[in-house]
């Protein structure tokens, strides 16, 4: 299942970034990428609507904890296919899919879904979640 999650995320590379976007190939944000992966895996997903562009006060953490098919694991247990949560400014505000050496994410600064070296993001990592059935 973890490898399939990575493949589904990679299928979205190049999709333009748009806040609250949910259409692969047309518009995705980081949460929309996760929704796409869950849908492709045939898993339930609590898709939160109306969130701010920069989540605050634990909104993103709460949304991830409320996913029926995600469990929080320790950062030291990070594995390919895990969902990763990052601090951009002060709080956790960004998610992506870890591939084992890189990060696939929809990122406003690049304007699209990209795959980048995980090393450049490692210092911002706050939480790790594992996809389960």
| pLDDT value of residue 59 | 84
Complete domains list, the chain, with CATH: 2-131 (3.90.1720.10)
| pLDDT value of residue 133 | 85
Minimal CA–CA distance to 112: which of 28, 21, 53? 28
* Across 8-28, average pLDDT: 97
| pLDDT value of residue 58 | 81
* Across 115-129, average pLDDT: 96
| 50, 69, 86 from 126: Cα distances, Å | 23, 19, 5
| pLDDT value of residue 114 | 98
Mind listing the pLDDT tens digit for each residue in 37-88? 999 999 999 998 888 777 777 888 999 999 999 999 999 999 999 999 999 8
**Which tokens is 14 given?**
């190049």
Residue 118 has pLDDT above 90, yes or no: yes
Mind listing the pLDDT tens digit for each residue in 78-105? 999 999 999 988 888 899 999 999 999 9
| pLDDT value of residue 24 | 97
């Amino acid at each position: 299942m973890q490898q399939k999650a990575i493949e589904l995320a990679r299928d979205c590379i190049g999709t333009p970034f748009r806040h609250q976007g949910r259409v692969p190939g047309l518009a995705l944000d980081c949460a929309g990428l996760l929704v796409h992966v869950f849908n492709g895996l045939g898993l339930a997903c609590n898709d939160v609507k109306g969130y701010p562009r920069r989540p605050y006060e634990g909104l993103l953490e709460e949304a991830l904890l409320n996913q029926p098919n995600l469990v929080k694991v320790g950062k030291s247990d990070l594995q390919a296919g895990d969902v990763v949560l990052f601090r951009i400014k002060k709080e956790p505000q960004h998610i992506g899919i870890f591939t084992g050496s890189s990060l696939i994410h929809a990122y406003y600064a690049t304007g699209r879904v990209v795959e980048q070296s995980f090393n450049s993001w490692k210092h911002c990592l706050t939480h790790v979640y594992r996809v389960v059935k």
